[in-house]
Amino acid sequence: MLYQESCCLCLLWLLHCVCLLFVFAILYLCSYLSRIGLLLVFLIPRVPGVSFNGDKPLTAATGDFAYSITTAFPRAPANFTFPAFADLQLNTQGSFIPITFTHLYATVYDLDTGRQVGTGDLGHYTVPAKAYPDILLPITFSYKAPNATDPTWLNWYDACKNTKAQQTTDGTRPSKLSVYPTIHHRFIG
């Protein structure tokens, strides 16, 4: 009888130890997973918010980019080519590490006709975390029309011609362009 009681106590003690080891293993696993989760929260880059900076989303091209593209707006053949910068502001407040873009692309469409009129690529670029960096994205506006009555070409010709030639009294342009820009990016992370 004494032997059976000591055997039961031994099994009870063994079961208690196994349960404790199981609880400690679960706690260790949870601790390990929470550390991995915390690392991922801080190290995975967030997609930054992109907005146009100010009232003028396009600025005149300067430097080497301005000289690398010949500005042209001939009637025959009807086409246009000119460089400009898209003035963007990124919101990287959600990121804890700097964001490195492998490419930052832009495509611009004439909203009235749906035709593509510009493309650009910033290339490899790094922006700081927890900031609102300003970026000038180079865009080459280029369009070739079949003739001078093409609606896309006319929209851009009317909006971009010399303000003095348009006879405005307040110096503003009477024609406005409706454009639809798309911005795509690829970043490391």
Residue 162 confidence (pLDDT): 60
Residue 171 confidence (pLDDT): 60
Residue 170 confidence (pLDDT): 64
Same-domain status, 129 and 109:
yes
How distant is the alpha carbon of residue 185 from its chain centre? Answer: 5
Same-domain status, 97 and 134:
yes
DSSP 35: H
Same-domain status, 88 and 169:
yes
Q: Could you state, in chain order, the average pLDDT of each consecutive group of 10 residues for the chain (189 residues)? A: 61 82 90 87 82 83 90 86 92 89 90 92 91 93 91 85 59 66 75
Residue 169: CATH number of its domain: 2.60.40
**Distance separating the N- and C-terminal Cα atoms of the chain:** 68
- Show the tokens assigned to 178: 């409706």
Same-domain status, 147 and 129:
yes
> Is the previous residue joined to 77 through a cis bond, with omega within 30 degrees of 0?
yes
Residue 17 confidence (pLDDT): 86
Total domain count, the chain? 2
Range of the domain at 5: 1-43
Decide: 115 and 149 in contact? Cβ < 8 Å: no
Global pTM exceeds 0.85: no
Which run of H or E residues covers position 115?
Answer: none
Same-domain status, 31 and 61:
no
